[in-house]
Amino acid sequence: MTLAIGQDAPKFVSKDQNGKPVALEDYLGKKVVLYFYPKDSTPGCTAQAKNLRDHFDALVDAGYTILGVSTDSEKRHQNFIQKNDLPFSLISDEDQSVHALYGTWQLKKFMGKEYMGTVRTTFVIDEKGKISHIINKIKTKEHSEQILSLE
């Protein structure tokens, strides 16, 4: 599935790191940064999460709610959040259902091998639940700046 700017963001219900249900509809009236990343505690994903953490106040001041999504378990998310002092929720998408809605679970190649995995992508969703921006070329150490420059 290919999503485009101006479309309604696909609605989903999944669970956060604490097993609490998270529904995109709960965030209507707020701007949401929904970022998909491959795996907790890997170098690029850690750099991206820390960059968002370090600029969290600026993102909140700009009106954003941050939600990370990966296929990691709730327990792995808890450990990742605790280890890196992350101030935002991470959604556990172990069955790739949220990834499927957003088209971020795709065939990838690494060192000549093909496998299914997460394509690092960020969707910025406006107050009305529409996709206002899609960031495909993520700079993990400058991700907050990429988001804040959209204003």
Kindly name the residue from 22, 33, 34, 45 that is annotated as catalytic. Answer: 45
User: Cα separation of 89 and 62, whole Å?
Assistant: 18
Please indicate whether residue 9 is annotated as part of the active site: no
Please report the beta strands in the chain, taking only residues with DSSP state E, as ranges in sequence order. 13-16, 21-23, 31-36, 64-70, 89-92, 105-110, 113-118, 121-125, 131-135
> How far is Cα of residue 136 from the mean position of the Cα atoms in its chain?
12
Residue with tokens 């990343």: 37
Is residue 130 helix, strand or coil? strand
Which of the 8 DSSP states describes residue 116?
E
Residues annotated as part of the active site: 45
